[in-house]
Structure formats: C-alpha cells, structure tokens
Amino acid sequence: MNKYLSIVKWGLVLLSTVAFSAFACRDAVVLVHGNTADPSSWDNTYEELLSRGYNPSEIFRPNWGSKSCAGCNDHSGSEETPVREAIESALAKSCTGSIDVIGHSMGSTLAAQQISKLAVASQVETFVGIAGAFRGLWTCGTYPFNVFSSTCGRHGLSVSSPFLDGLYGDQFGRNVYSIKSYSDQIVCATGVCTVGGIHSSRIWNEDDTFTYILGHFGLQTATSKKQVDLIM
C-alpha cells in the first residue's frame, strides 16, 4: 500500500511540474532579422526557445524589408511597420507585461529604433543586439559624404547619420547586451571594426558584451544558446 501511495505521489509531482512548465508566465520574445534576411534566419534561436519551454505563441518574428535589394532598405517607412506591430503584439500578449527583444545586424538598430519611438524601453526586460552597426558602417562612409543608397543614407548606417545620431544614448531595455566579432565580414568589412575606438556593435549603457570568433551570420545562428541564456 505504501509503495502504491509513493507511486501516486510522484505521479502527482510529475504532473504538477509539467503543468507549471506549460503555464509558466514568461516574457514574450521578439526576434528581428537583418537586412534582406527573413524570419527563418532565427530557426536555431526559435528551436532553442521551444526546447526551454516557450510556446510558439510567445515568439514573434516580424518579416520586414526587401529581400532582393539590400541597398533599398533603411530605418524609415515600410521597414518600420512589421517590427513596430510585432513589438506591440508581443506586449499585448505577454503575461508578464514585459518582452525580450533580440535583433541581428540591421534588425538590431531597427528594433532599437521602434522601442524608442514607442517609448517602451521600461517594458523591455532584455535587449540583445547581435552584430549590429550601432555606431555606423565604414563601408557606408560618413554622412553626408556617404555611399549613395538608402541603407547608407540619412535613415541608414553611415557613420554619424542623422538616424544613428538620433538613436545615440537612448535606452532599449532594463538589461542590454551586445554580441560581436572582430571577424564580422559586414561590420568589419574595411578591416576596422571600431568607430571612435569602440566596436560598432557595442551599445551605449550596455550591461555586458560578448565576443566570438564568428562571421556576421554565424553570430546569429551559432550563439542561440547564449541568446536564450541572456533573456531567461
């Protein structure tokens, strides 16, 4: 009889653990892809979130920008809408009232911009910028003597562009992290990764930064465990 009661007891414990995991209250997560990429570029992070108990309904992957014209995308107009709507939807559905935001490449600066425009930094528990160009890209030149393209223009990633200068100093969450590399073939394309002596992927007022020996796209796909560690 005692053995039977013990089995029942542990069965109930197991059921309660599963139930708690299924109904645990977590921040919703917004994953913002980079220039000309699409939501599938987050597949590794998405699968890692699911393996940690997240429900698909708690994960938002906006699809923004042209997929065929990298130089046509910037941080103004139609590129903004899907990201803004994803952040608003995540906030509306998050049972904690807060969200976590992870961006890769141009998606980092686009996500940061929308957080600032919506004035929701206090509702972002953690912001992670991966391989972003928060201080500009030397391949774009220096504004206003920038490469002639939308991506490098006044709403783009030329060094000292009005967009980047306007973003500088803003807070994007209660906890802010950057993930970077000195082997990044986009951010470090000229052989120089720094702007003003600081790696361009670093974010002002960040809590910490993490450096990997990975390329621009590997920083997104090969650091999924670290990304999720940072938001949990």
Q: Is residue 13 part of a domain?
A: no
Q: Is residue 2 part of a domain?
A: no
Structure token pair of residue 89: 């939807």
Amino acid making up residue 27: D
Q: Is residue 92 part of a domain?
A: yes
Q: Is residue 20 part of a domain?
A: no
Dihedral pair phi/psi, residue 209, rounded to 5°:
-135, 150
Domain range enclosing 78: 26-231
Structure token pair of residue 1: 């009889």
Instruction: Tally the domains of the chain.
Output: 1
What is the chain's alpha carbon radius of gyration, rounded to the nearest angstrom? 20
**Tell me, what CATH number does 112's domain have?**
3.40.50.1820
Residues 6+ apart with CB under 8 A from 97: 91, 123
Q: Is residue 4 part of a domain?
A: no
189: Cα separation from own chain's centroid: 21
Q: Is residue 66 part of a domain?
A: yes
pLDDT in tens, the chain (232 residues): 455 545 445 544 343 443 444 568 999 999 999 999 999 999 999 999 999 999 999 999 999 999 999 999 999 999 999 999 999 999 999 999 999 999 999 999 999 999 999 999 999 999 999 999 999 999 999 999 999 999 999 999 999 999 999 999 999 999 999 999 999 999 999 999 999 999 999 999 999 999 999 999 999 999 999 999 999 9
Q: Is residue 17 part of a domain?
A: no
Predicted TM-score (pTM) above 0.95: no
Q: Is residue 9 part of a domain?
A: no
